[in-house]
Amino acid sequence: MRKKGSGFIIKFLVLIFMLSFFSACGSQAVNNEKGKTAAPDAVTLATTFYPLYIEAANITKDIPGVRLINIAPPTTGCLHDYQLTPEDLKKMSEADILVVNGAGMETFTDKIVSQLPELKIIDASRDIPLIKGEGDEYNPHVWVSITNAIKQVRNIGEQLAILDPDRAVQYTANTDVYAAKLADLRARMRQVIANAGGKDIITFHEAFPYFAQEFNLNITAVIEREPGAEPSAAELSETIKIIKETGTKVIFTEPQYPARSAETIARETGIKLYTLDPAVTGAMEPDAYLKIMEKNMDILKEALNQDE
C-alpha cells in the first residue's frame, strides 16, 4: 500500500509540473502578443525619388518603427522618362505608404499603384499652385522653390500623422523643425538675390520656373525643354538672338546632364556658364537639400553680380 501511494504522489506531482509548464508557455505567448500590440506597428514609407526622400528623412528622423525607402535611384535626375525596374516594383510592394511628388511627375507609377489597393498615397504637392508647362501639362518641379519645399514637407507631415496616428506627435515635431530650417535658408537666399545686380538668366531645362518665381528672376530662354533633347540649329540661333537682345549674361547648366548645347551658346556669345542644381540627385542625408540650396545661393551671388 505504501508503494502504491508513493507512485500516486509522484504521478500527481508530475502532472502538476506539466500543467504549470504549459500554463507558463501559454502565459508567455499571451505576454508576447501583448507586447506586439502595445507598441505601434512598424511602417514602411516609400518615396518615388530623391527630393521627396530627403523631405521624408527629416520628417521621420529618429522615430522608431519607421522604415524609409526610395524607389528611383538618387542618380536618376528628373523622372521624365523613368522606367520602373523589378527592384523598384519589389520596393513598392513592400511599402505601406508611398509619397509622390504629384503634379504629373510620376506617371510611371500609375499602373502599379492601381494593382496595390492597400498602398496609401501621400501627394506632396497637394494645394500647391502649379505653373503651366508645355501644352496642357503643368510643370512638376515644385520642390526647387524653397517655399514649395516647405509646403511639401507640411503636406507629408500632416498626411503621415493621419495615416500613422500613433506617431503623429513625433511627425509634427520633426516637420516643424525642418520647416524652420528651410524658412531660415529662404530668408537668407532672398536677401542675397534681392541685392544682386542682374535678374535675367537662361536655364538648361524647365526645372527652375518655381525657383525663378520665388526669387523674382527672369528666365529669358530655356535651352532644352526636355533633358537629352538637344536644340535644333534654329533653336540655338533663337537663343543666341535672345541673349544679344536682352543682354542676359549667364547660362545655368545642371550637374545631372551634359552641357554641350549650353557650351555651344557660350562660345558664340561669350556668356558665362554656371551650374545650378535642381536637387534631384545627391547624398542620402537629411541636410542634403539645405546644402544644395546653400551652394546654389553662393553661385547665384557670383553669377548675378558680374559687373560689380
**pLDDT grade for 136, boundaries at 50, 70 and 90:** confident
pLDDT at 11: 43
Mean pLDDT (whole number) for 119-127: 96
**pLDDT grade for 79, boundaries at 50, 70 and 90:** confident
Whether residue 14 has pLDDT greater than 80: no
Three-state SS for 42? coil
Whether residue 184 has pLDDT greater than 60: yes
Written as one string, the DSSP assignment of 80-141 is TT----HHHHHHHHH-SEEEE--TT--GGGHHHHHT-TT-EEEETTTTPPPPB-STTPBP--
| CA–CA gap between residue 4 and residue 33 (Å, rounded) | 44
pTM: 0.84
In the CATH scheme, what is the code of domain 196-303? Answer: 3.40.50.1980
Q: Which three cell numbers stand for residue 113?
A: 499603384
Q: What angle do CA 53, 73, 103 make, to 5 degrees?
A: 55
Q: pLDDT: is 155 or 206 the higher one? A: 155
Strands 200-203 and 218-222: parallel
pLDDT at 4: 45
Mean pLDDT (whole number) for 249-261: 88
- The share of the chain scoring above pLDDT 90, in percent, equals 57
Whether residue 267 has pLDDT greater than 70: yes
Range list of β-strands (E), 59-115: 66-70, 97-100
Q: Quick check: do 43-187 and 196-303 share a fold?
A: yes
**pLDDT grade for 56, boundaries at 50, 70 and 90:** very high
- Residue-averaged pLDDT of the chain: 85
**pLDDT grade for 24, boundaries at 50, 70 and 90:** very low
CATH superfamily of domain region 43-187: Nitrogenase molybdenum iron protein domain (3.40.50.1980)
Whether residue 31 has pLDDT greater than 80: no
Whether residue 87 has pLDDT greater than 60: yes
CA-CA distances (angstroms) from residue 103 to 1, 92, 93, 129, 162? 91, 20, 23, 10, 22
Locate the domains of the chain by residue range. 43-187, 196-303
**pLDDT grade for 12, boundaries at 50, 70 and 90:** very low
Q: Identify which of 87-96, 184-193, 250-259 has the greatest average pLDDT.
A: 184-193
The helix (H) or strand (E) run that includes residue 201 is strand 200-203
Q: What angle do CA 274, 280, 281 make, to 5 degrees?
A: 90
Backbone angles phi, psi at 69, to 5 degrees: -130, 155
| CA–CA gap between residue 7 and residue 13 (Å, rounded) | 10
Whether residue 308 has pLDDT greater than 60: no
pLDDT at 307: 64
pLDDT at 20: 40
Range with lowest mean pLDDT among 203-207, 228-232, 254-258: 228-232
Q: Which of 268, 189, 281 is nearest to 231 (CA)?
A: 268
The helix (H) or strand (E) run that includes residue 44 is strand 43-47
Mean pLDDT (whole number) for 286-305: 95
Q: Which three cell numbers stand for residue 129?
A: 499652385
pLDDT at 204: 87
| CA–CA gap between residue 71 and residue 92 (Å, rounded) | 7
